[in-house]
Chains A and B, each alone.
Chain A
Amino acid sequence: MISFNQVHKRYPGGYEALKGVSFDIAEGEMVFLTGHSGAGKSTLLKLIAAIERPNSGSVLLNNQNVGVLKGGALPYLRRNLGIIFQDHKLLFDRNVFDNVLLPLQICGFDHRESGKRVRAALDKVGLLKREKSNPIALSGGEQQRLCIARAIVNRPSILLADEPTGNLDAAYAREIMAIFNSFHQVGATLLISTHDESVLQDSGVRRLTLKEGVLQ
């Protein structure tokens, strides 16, 4: 499903974020991406969504080389991905419902159908009762869950999460991980970056560990 082959990423200025990274993630697999901050976790996720491009090596997503995709094809690639951002990237000029609606508007969903889907996604993350609130009125954990709802409303086959439990206390973090587990159980492919030890102790989930841009 996701396949890295000898991927190098160097940022302008010479900083090398990834050095010869290779791995494969199968369809329906759930994988943790760990390592200290600055180890290259965010860069790796950005390469998958073609937010950044590799300097060499190939990033394959469903056997498609993401690194060389033309600008016009990017939107359609990203519609297959659900991305949960470290900084949430919520829009504060609209309410919770409309934040989750945005991906469906972008894909051109029918009005009635999208209403149902938005409520289903909000229900899954436990925010159904807050649909009229402004995201600014939500707690950190709720904002994170809203971000998840927006990522899954389009029913993508792949979910990428960048430090989803970053600033949350243990109880909230467990809630979020429970939500991810439920997606895993219905067949989604998940790649979750985290340095949260309490989360990692959980279960026998496969781990990819980055250290200074090299996969351990």
Chain B
Amino acid sequence: MMRAFAQHLAVLRAVLRRMFVSKLAGFLNILVIGIALSLPAGMYLLLQNAQGLVVQLSGTPQISLFLSMDAKTEDVDRLQKQLVQHPAVAGVEFVARAQALEQLKQSTGLSDLISGLEQNPLPDAFIVHPKPGDAQSLDALRGELAKLPRVSEAQLDSAWAYKLEALLKFGRMGVLILASLLSLALVAVTFNTIRLQILTQRDEIEVAKLIGATDGFIRRPFLYFGATQGLLGGIMAWLIVTASLLLLNGQLGALAQLYASQFTLHPLSFGDSLSLLLFSVYLGWLGAWLSVARHLSQIEPR
């Protein structure tokens, strides 16, 4: 057991030495793989963040009912009863116009401007929490509520979120296509690297076969090479994505401040990072395996 482990370790050491015989060439290979993987990984990360934003903003869709300015207290009470009894409504909040003005002052920092107003321009409003449903049923509910007496306007706050969701789906498909193509490219790069290695080590392979090496023994260093190169490429991709994110967040911080928001991009989660690395190891291994299967059988000692 220990002996087998030590042998595998020795193969790995030899592989690493070989990979960096030419430091520049080894590094460039890893860079190419890293860039190829960082594109889909980076796009995935941006989509994840956008997704997070959507969930955060539209976790529970709401319908805002703005009452006409001449609504009286009795009207409000009657409306509230009607809404509470409505089968598609889960909850109702009343926001009095004075309260709404106060919130506006606090949240936007426009208190000076608002204090200068002669009268409160805001109407009374209800915030209706509908029971969960799809975009269409929510829209129907919005139309129905808009027709209630003394309601001047009904807004489905999450309408844009549904559109964004659809857009994200589109984006995810794009990432999937890009990732598939670039994965294929990675497999091809590894395939070719290994092919060249097999050609340059033709003598060694031939001699090894002549003195009793099994196919497994001959295959092993090439498979390890592919997997190791994949792993280093994956690490490179992770570094590229993370560094880009830090650069973007620096700029985003300034931008978000202008909008009085604190939005920042989240880095790749631990699970996603691990997936990225495992996937790149797998692709490297696959490329090497295909190459070895294709080329090793062509070398028979004479």
Contact partner of B211 (CB less than 8 A), chosen from A71, A93, A150, is A150
User: Which chain A residue has the least Cβ–Cβ distance from B208?
Assistant: A106
Q: Mind listing 8 A-B residue pairs with CB under 8 Å?
A: A51-B210, A72-B214, A76-B212, A77-B212, A79-B211, A102-B207, A107-B212, A108-B4
A108 lies within 8 A of B208 (CB): no
Contact partner of B210 (CB less than 8 A), chosen from A72, A83, A107, A154, is A83
From residue 93 to 133 of chain A, which have CB atoms closer than 8 A to chain B?
Answer: 93, 102-103, 105-108, 110-111
Chain B residues lying within 8 Å of A146, measured Cβ to Cβ, are none
Chain A nearest CB from B242 CB (Å) reads: 38
Most buried by B among A76, A77, A107: A107
A93 to B208 Cα, complex, angstroms: 14
A76 to B204 Cα, complex, angstroms: 18
B302 lies within 8 A of A102 (CB): no
A74 to B217 Cα, complex, angstroms: 13
Given contacts A91-B204, A102-B208, 13 further A-B contacts (CB under 8 A): A75-B214, A76-B212, A79-B212, A85-B210, A91-B203, A102-B211, A106-B212, A106-B213, A106-B217, A107-B212, A108-B4, A154-B211, A154-B212
A81 to B211 Cα, complex, angstroms: 8
A51 lies within 8 A of B211 (CB): no
A103 lies within 8 A of B211 (CB): yes
Chain B residues engaging chain A, CB cutoff 8 angstroms: 3-4, 6-7, 10, 203-204, 206-215, 217, 301-302
Q: Interface size bucket, A side?
A: 20 to 34
Most buried by A among B7, B209, B213: B213
Chain A residues engaging chain B, CB cutoff 8 angstroms: 49, 51, 71-72, 74-79, 81, 83, 85, 89, 91, 93, 102-103, 105-108, 110-111, 150, 154
Chain B nearest CB from A148 CB (Å) reads: 13
Most buried by B among A75, A85, A89: A75
Chain A nearest CB from B154 CB (Å) reads: 76
Knowing A91-B204, A106-B217 touch, does A78 contact B211 (C-beta < 8 A)? yes
User: Which chain B residue has the least Cβ–Cβ distance from A92?
Assistant: B203
A49 lies within 8 A of B7 (CB): no
Contact partner of A89 (CB less than 8 A), chosen from B207, B213, B214, is B207
The A/B interface has a contact count, at CB < 8 Å, of 54
A72 to B218 Cα, complex, angstroms: 13
B210 lies within 8 A of A89 (CB): yes
Chain A nearest CB from B45 CB (Å) reads: 43
A71 to B3 Cα, complex, angstroms: 26
Chain B residues lying within 8 Å of A105, measured Cβ to Cβ, are 7
Chain B residues lying within 8 Å of A75, measured Cβ to Cβ, are 209, 212-214, 217
Knowing A106-B217, A108-B7, A110-B3 touch, does A93 contact B204 (C-beta < 8 A)? yes
User: Which chain B residue has the least Cβ–Cβ distance from A79?
Assistant: B212
User: Which chain B residue has the least Cβ–Cβ distance from A91?
Assistant: B204
A89 lies within 8 A of B206 (CB): yes
Chain A nearest CB from B180 CB (Å) reads: 36
A49 lies within 8 A of B210 (CB): yes
Chain B nearest CB from A114 CB (Å) reads: 11
A77 to B213 Cα, complex, angstroms: 10
A91 lies within 8 A of B210 (CB): no
Chain A residues lying within 8 Å of B208, measured Cβ to Cβ, are 102, 106
User: Which chain B residue has the least Cβ–Cβ distance from A153?
Assistant: B211
Q: Closest 6 CB pairs between A and B? A: A79-B212, A78-B212, A106-B213, A75-B212, A75-B214, A103-B211
Chain A residues lying within 8 Å of B212, measured Cβ to Cβ, are 74-79, 81, 103, 106-107, 154
B211 lies within 8 A of A106 (CB): yes
A77 to B215 Cα, complex, angstroms: 14
B207 lies within 8 A of A108 (CB): no
Chain B residues lying within 8 Å of A102, measured Cβ to Cβ, are 207-208, 211
A89 to B208 Cα, complex, angstroms: 10
Chain B nearest CB from A88 CB (Å) reads: 10
A79 to B208 Cα, complex, angstroms: 11
Chain A residues lying within 8 Å of B10, measured Cβ to Cβ, are 111
Chain A residues lying within 8 Å of B7, measured Cβ to Cβ, are 105, 108
A140 to B301 Cα, complex, angstroms: 23
Chain A nearest CB from B205 CB (Å) reads: 10
A78 lies within 8 A of B3 (CB): no
Chain B nearest CB from A27 CB (Å) reads: 20
A51 lies within 8 A of B301 (CB): yes
A111 lies within 8 A of B6 (CB): yes
User: Which chain B residue has the least Cβ–Cβ distance from A77?
Assistant: B212
Chain A nearest CB from B275 CB (Å) reads: 35
Chain A residues lying within 8 Å of B207, measured Cβ to Cβ, are 89, 91, 102
A47 to B238 Cα, complex, angstroms: 54
A39 to B208 Cα, complex, angstroms: 28
Most buried by A among B209, B210, B211, B302: B211
